[in-house]
Structure 1
Amino acid sequence: MEYILVTVILFISILIYFRIADQYNIIDKPNHRSAHTQITLRGGGIIFPVAFIVFCCFNLQTAIEHYGSFGLGLLAICSISFIDDIKTLSNKIRLSVHLISVILLLYFTGAFVLMPFWVWPILFVVIIGTLNAYNFMDGINGMTGVYSLVTLLSLAYINKDVVEFTDNDFIIYPVLSCLVFLFFNFRKKAKCFAGDVGSMGIGFWVIGLIALLIMRTGEYKYILLLSIYGMEVVLTIIERILLKENIFEAHRRHLYQLFANERKVSHLVISSVYAVFQLLVNIFLIHSQLPVWAIILIIFIPAGGIYLGLKWSLKKQYNL
């Protein structure tokens, strides 16, 4: 009954936001990087920080005792991202808030106690890089919501049947927020886009859960729960460096962008394929007893081969 009530609250919350966004003209206008062609409401991903606030309301004592630093980090990164959705901010301001949020996240997971100090800079780079990967991949209808849903459900399974590493509701609430968001976003003509507040918000929550799992188990293989995003972003950055392009400028070189923009494949099909590939990886990952290096080879050799093959074929076909 609680989850039904939470879903209703989240549904009402996003409808209220739509009225606000429409009144204040918070919209996404297509540009040369976009895979869409129509003006759409932006910032629908505000549902994710709202979900955490609702989580706190229903689990007040637990939230105060265990999730305070995480919540501060989440709300900080979502606030600055929402402002950036409305008005472009300087990189220094955004990066400063991101660093503060990551510090709070690492404190929440216990990384500062469990990991030697020389590892901390590596964790900062990995987490901020993964957050930006989430943002880079948020370019077509359904991608962020479906991909996050697959990862969150995988984490829920791990928490229930493999090793309990957090409160179950801390995973279920973002699952419910993804479902509500997808109701409006997983469409041919989306009612709203996540915006930076959405990609950063759900990305921060997912990364927090994975980091918590790794700290509790010592199993670094779980970072591969985001391996499809990671592979796509890293290979695209390498490609742009080889082409001597500015990797910080907007572009349309991601494989999903080529399929959506050049091949005109349905956004919903592309998003679903990415999610299914990650799901297959997760099933193998969770049940595998192989060492991490072997898991990485088994995942990335065929996945990387498929990715490079498809990209080469599309670029040749469309002379890109």
Structure 2
Amino acid sequence: MQYTILGLILMIFMLLYFKVADRYNIIDKPNQRSSHTEITLRGGGIIFWFSAFLYFAQYLNYFFFTGITLVSLVSFWDDIQSLSNKIRMSVQFLAISLIFYDLGLFTIVPAFAIVAAYILAIGLINAYNFMDGINGITGLYTLAILGALLYVNSNIQLFIDGSFIKYGMVASLVFLFFNYRKKAKCFAGDVGSIAIAFWVIYLLLKLILNTDSIIWLLFLAVYGVDAVCTILHRLYLKQNIFEAHRLHFYQILSNEYKIQHRLVSLYYAIVQIGVSALVISFYQKVSEIVLFAIIIIPLLFVYSIKFYLINKKSLKLEM
């Protein structure tokens, strides 16, 4: 009953936000690098911050809520009026510092590990944002991750209040109601993808610290391989990695090969569910290095198919 009421409150909040976004022209206009073709309301992902607020009002997690509020504010501002990368990165650094303090990272891990954690956390936040490009991908992929975390929390290692995970899942379901359509009612915007990425990273860090295992990072393996390999590809092409582009694997499938956006999003979520199931099944049964290899190598192979598809498309255009 609690989560039904939460869903209804979030649904009402979204409908009210649509009126505000429509009145103040908070929209996403497609350009030559976009995966959509029609003007759509932007910033619907603010629902993730609002869900975090509702959780905070009951359970008072000050550091997490302050952090997600900081990244949400600067991201929403960036959705409306572009900000410099320095401002966005600085705020993300501050927000990450808050959850590091909350989790006790500064006192339990060496300095070099803290530096690596900053790079990884900020990188994952922005990778999550880069991957938000077609209808349904952020909502479905987030459900896949949170579902896996909820399973671990319930059956393997209790590391956090289960409601904290479920609030994120309900927000994802409500967002998908408006976004997982042929013609989306709204897009998440930076405020949505970065806010939920911050939420996911907090959960993963807490689980990693509770189990003393980094294997749970594989709950982000599909996004991670696509994002990192695409960044390396763009660096090879001498492109600005912070500018919009159409080189992610999901973009090639959606834009160049015209596979329905919702299907591509579903494929990503299903593959990640499969990966997470393998992680859970082999946890503490094989070494972490072996498990990383078992999962990452096949994903790299699948990603490499992108280059075959690009070359095939180029040859057709030349003909």
* TM-score bracket, shorter-length normalisation: over 0.9
Q: Distance in 2 between matches of 1:241 and 1:3?
A: 44
Task: Give runs of aligned pairs for residues 115-194 of structure 1, distance below 5 A.
Answer: 115-194=109-188
Counterpart code for 2:197: G
Q: Counterpart of 1:172 in 2: which secondary structure? A: helix
Task: Give runs of aligned pairs for residues 127-276 of structure 1, distance below 5 A.
Answer: 127-276=121-270
Counterpart code for 2:166: I
Specify the alignment match of 2:292 in structure 1: 296
C-alpha distance after superposition, 1:146-198 (max 9, x if no partner): 00000001000000000000001100000000000000000010000000000
Name which of 301, 310, 314 aligns with 1:319.
Answer: 314
Alignment RMSD, CA only?
Answer: 1.0
Specify the alignment match of 1:87 in structure 2: 81
Q: Distance in 2 between matches of 1:88 and 1:242?
A: 26
Specify the alignment match of 2:108 in structure 1: 114
Residues 244-253 or 209-218, more deviating:
244-253
Q: CA deviation at 1:255?
A: 0.7
Question: TM-score, normalization: structure 1?
Answer: 0.96
Task: Give runs of aligned pairs for residues 23-34 of structure 1, distance below 5 A.
Answer: 23-34=23-34
Q: Counterpart of 1:275 in 2: which secondary structure? A: helix
For structure 1, the residue ranges without an aligned partner over 5 or more in a row are none
Q: Distance in 2 between matches of 1:140 and 1:29?
A: 14
Question: TM-score, normalization: structure 2?
Answer: 0.96
Counterpart code for 1:198: G
C-alpha distance after superposition, 1:187-245 (max 9, x if no partner): 01000000000000111001110011001111110011001111001111111122222
Counterpart code for 1:302: P
Does the CA-based 8 Å contact 1:10-1:180 persist in structure 2?
yes
Q: CA deviation at 1:134?
A: 0.4
How many residue pairs align between the two structures? 313
Specify the alignment match of 2:9 in structure 1: 9
Q: Counterpart of 1:318 in 2: which secondary structure? A: helix
Q: CA deviation at 1:118?
A: 2.1
Q: Distance in 1 between matches of 2:240 and 2:68?
A: 29
Q: Counterpart of 1:319 in 2: which secondary structure? A: helix
Does the CA-based 8 Å contact 1:240-1:247 persist in structure 2?
yes
Q: CA deviation at 1:251?
A: 1.1
For structure 2, the residue ranges without an aligned partner over 5 or more in a row are none
Q: Distance in 2 between matches of 1:3 and 1:244?
A: 47
Q: CA deviation at 1:85?
A: 0.4
Q: Distance in 2 between matches of 1:303 and 1:285?
A: 14
Q: CA deviation at 1:259?
A: 0.9
Does the CA-based 8 Å contact 2:56-2:65 persist in structure 1?
no
Q: Distance in 2 between matches of 1:217 and 1:198?
A: 29
The percent identity for this pair of structures is 46
Does the CA-based 8 Å contact 1:114-1:215 persist in structure 2?
no
Q: CA deviation at 1:33?
A: 2.1
Counterpart code for 2:300: G
Residues 87-96 or 6-15, more deviating:
87-96
Q: Distance in 2 between matches of 1:109 and 1:284?
A: 27
Counterpart code for 1:298: I
Does the CA-based 8 Å contact 2:56-2:62 persist in structure 1?
no
